[in-house]
Amino acid sequence: MNGLIRNGKTRMALALVAILAGCATAPAPGEDQIANPSQNMDGQPTSNSGINEAVGPSAVLVQPITPLPAPVLTEQQAENRMREMVRRDPLLALMTAEVASQRGDFVSANIAYTEAARSQKDPELAKRAVEISLNAGDVERALTSAKVWAELNPQDAQAGRTVLLLLLSTNRIEEGYPSLETTFKFLKDQEAAHPGMSEASPLRIALEMLMRIPDKEKSYATGIRLLGNDVKEIESQYILSQLAENSDLHDKAIEHIQNVINVVPEERYYVLQAQFMERRDQNPVAAMASLEEQAKRHPDWFSARLYLARMATQANSWAVANKWFKELLKLQPNNYPLYSSQGFVLAKLQDRAGAAEHFNVYLNKTKPEERQNEILIYLTMAELSQADKQYKEAIRWLEKAPNGVENFDIQLKLSNVYKSQDKAAQAEKILRRFKAQNEEDGVRKTIALSQLQESQKKGAEAAREIDSALALYPDQPDLLYERAMVAERLKDLGNVEKYLTRLIEVKPENPHGYNALGYTWAENNIRLNEALELIKKANLLAPKDPFILDSLGWVHYRLGNQAEAEKALKAAYAISPDEEIGLHLMELLIAQGRTSDAQAIAEELKRKFPSSVKVKELSRKISGNNL
């Protein structure tokens, strides 16, 4: 708080207080001079015209002849000055407070309004002080002012409620509890006298209040204290389940919602219990099993099936998700957004015809302005068509996209479709005619052009594409990384190191620069200890990145640390059974003489990457070792 009092904005506001005070009242004998209106907040001479216009010619009479710097006040001194100002001329103090508030000096503004409220017995002034402090995020001063507001108008329910909420928000549970209890009883009595008239039930209002307590365990404990824990009181049990979940007391939350289910076994409570279980376990397996059992018993439960479908998509269990979306569409055949969701699930299952059917229903039945993920639909169908070598169909999907000529994702996919047909010139033409409207699209366009050049065995041209963009954006991280990768493929180790080193300098929090440089050295079997340190740094920044774990395993393999290499490579392969990761793990296993384990990995890779030359070569190496 002292820092706020000492800053320039506060000194400026206090100087204005002094000027205005000088117009109203002559300084008391021996009183310290506050400020010089001929100076700015740094003590430098400035024009008097603005001040004279504000307060009139008499302001000139109080200007000292010799400029003096504005004193630095402690918080207590500032408060005392403001209180004195309020005592002398409350109206002038309030005018000053508004100016101070507008200039960011919320402390002085709060003091002025609060002291004016006390001296004038005006609760509205205290209310204004609360608003100023809350807007500034100063809860403590807001609470002090709110108490004055409530003291001046004890019949004002809003004032009392504000004090209560601020007490709870600052963990002053014991001080606020009597008011909380009284408020809750009042709300219950009102509800009993006029059922259904209030916008929210007393328990809902209590939940909102209790949720404001920062100490979550105290929040839950206060809920138990206020509401009791009668397992037959269904609404109380529901509120307690919310408080427990908000406090990360997942088992308690599940217990409370089970109490609700025991009396009212409704779908919504089973779904809520599944959500609690998912958060407790940090995975949806048990939650899905529990809810699936209920869904089988209740074929008309829509929300349960929707939850199960969403959980299956999050787990990449596309066949399971497909099953649940089919059931959802049977229950609600006119719920057209479901067709879009089912279309994406079918796309993941490589069912091009099924995805197209569902997407077309969604697009035909939904107004253009209400469509969600429309561009993604066209891109997804183009991707599926391209994979099936249905290039004309892919182009037709892309041409349906609204404003597709201006959308880089659409144009990039269109270029890629032509590239797949060995029509590099047409692919390049599409990219070059696209007019990037921002840096992001410009960078993506450059990288796409560079990669297109590389696909045509034009490595030098690929490098020049990026060099041209780096002239415009010399420290753009994506360009630096891509330029290093182009250099790596050109066997230009010097430029690999140059651009990756610069990337690390520009983005020290980005793990990929460290990983790429460390892996480059490991792959070239040079500077291995330095490579290990770089990759450790990358792993620290992204501990679950499978490709960084692969690099870590590979550099350990190069260093002869086989146990550490195996641990890292197996962890990487478990997260992402990628071809290169699998090949590294195979090489390690072969080196250890574990050919049967290596062969098992080889069989997995051959199924996933049947055309991989490297997998075939290593498989032959394993066969040779077995002879």
pLDDT tens, residue by residue, 559-602: 999 999 999 999 999 999 999 999 999 999 999 999 999 999 99
Query: What is the pLDDT, as a whole number, of residue 166?
Result: 95
Candidate from 58-67, 204-213, 354-363, 411-420 with smallest mean pLDDT = 58-67
pLDDT at 41 over 80: no
Band of pLDDT at residue 511, cut at 50, 70 and 90: very high
Query: What is the pLDDT, as a whole number, of residue 414?
Result: 98
The angle formed by the CA atoms of residues 446, 534 and 553, to the nearest 5 degrees, is 100
Helices (H), 103-249: 106-120, 123-135, 139-152, 157-169, 173-193, 202-210, 216-227, 234-246
Distances in Å between the Cα of 455 and the Cα atoms of 401, 419, 420, 461 are 27, 9, 11, 11
Band of pLDDT at residue 96, cut at 50, 70 and 90: confident
Query: What is the pLDDT, as a whole number, of residue 79?
Result: 67
* Rounded mean pLDDT, 257-285: 95
* Rounded mean pLDDT, 174-189: 92
Band of pLDDT at residue 73, cut at 50, 70 and 90: low
Query: What is the pLDDT, as a whole number, of residue 169?
Result: 93
Band of pLDDT at residue 196, cut at 50, 70 and 90: confident
Query: What is the pLDDT, as a whole number, of residue 46?
Result: 39
Of 497 and 120, which is predicted with more confidence?
Answer: 497
* Rounded mean pLDDT, 317-345: 97
The residue ranges of every structural domain in the chain are 1-120
Query: What is the pLDDT, as a whole number, of residue 103?
Result: 82
pLDDT at 229 over 90: yes
Query: What is the pLDDT, as a whole number, of residue 74?
Result: 64
Distance between CA 223 and CA 216 in Å, rounded? Answer: 11
Tell me, what DSSP letter sits at residue 138? -
pLDDT at 57 over 70: no
pLDDT at 251 over 50: yes
Band of pLDDT at residue 17, cut at 50, 70 and 90: very low
pLDDT, tens digit, 9 for 90 and up, residues 105-159 = 888 888 888 888 988 899 999 999 999 999 989 999 999 999 999 999 999 999 9
pLDDT at 520 over 70: yes
Candidate from 29-33, 110-114, 222-226, 558-562 with smallest mean pLDDT = 29-33
Q: Cα 225 to chain center, whole Å? A: 35
Helices (H), 456-492: 459-472, 477-489
Q: Max alpha carbon distance in the chain (Å)?
A: 109
Candidate from 106-115, 286-295, 521-530 with smallest mean pLDDT = 106-115
pLDDT at 418 over 80: yes
191 near 201, Cβ under 8 Å? yes
Identity of the amino acid at 335: N
pLDDT, tens digit, 9 for 90 and up, residues 344-382 = 999 999 999 999 999 999 999 999 999 999 999 999 999
Band of pLDDT at residue 62, cut at 50, 70 and 90: very low
Give Rg (Cα) of the chain.
35
Of 48 and 612, which is predicted with more confidence?
Answer: 612
308 near 323, Cβ under 8 Å? no
The angle formed by the CA atoms of residues 593, 597 and 599, to the nearest 5 degrees, is 95
Q: What percent of the chain has pLDDT over 70?
A: 86
Band of pLDDT at residue 78, cut at 50, 70 and 90: low
Candidate from 80-89, 164-173, 283-292, 391-400 with smallest mean pLDDT = 80-89
pLDDT at 321 over 50: yes
pLDDT at 16 over 90: no
Within 10 angstroms of residue 476's Cβ, the number of other Cβ atoms is: 21
Return mean pLDDT, the chain.
Answer: 86
Q: Name residue, tokens 């809350």.
A: 134
Query: What is the pLDDT, as a whole number, of residue 626?
Result: 52
504 near 517, Cβ under 8 Å? yes
* Rounded mean pLDDT, 222-232: 95
Band of pLDDT at residue 202, cut at 50, 70 and 90: confident
Band of pLDDT at residue 58, cut at 50, 70 and 90: very low
Helix%, strand%, coil% for the chain, nearest 5: 75, 0, 25
Band of pLDDT at residue 89, cut at 50, 70 and 90: confident
Distance between CA 386 and CA 65 in Å, rounded? Answer: 84
Of 608 and 199, which is predicted with more confidence?
Answer: 608
15 near 50, Cβ under 8 Å? no
For helices 493-506 and 511-523, the axis angle rounded to 10 degrees is 160
Band of pLDDT at residue 65, cut at 50, 70 and 90: very low
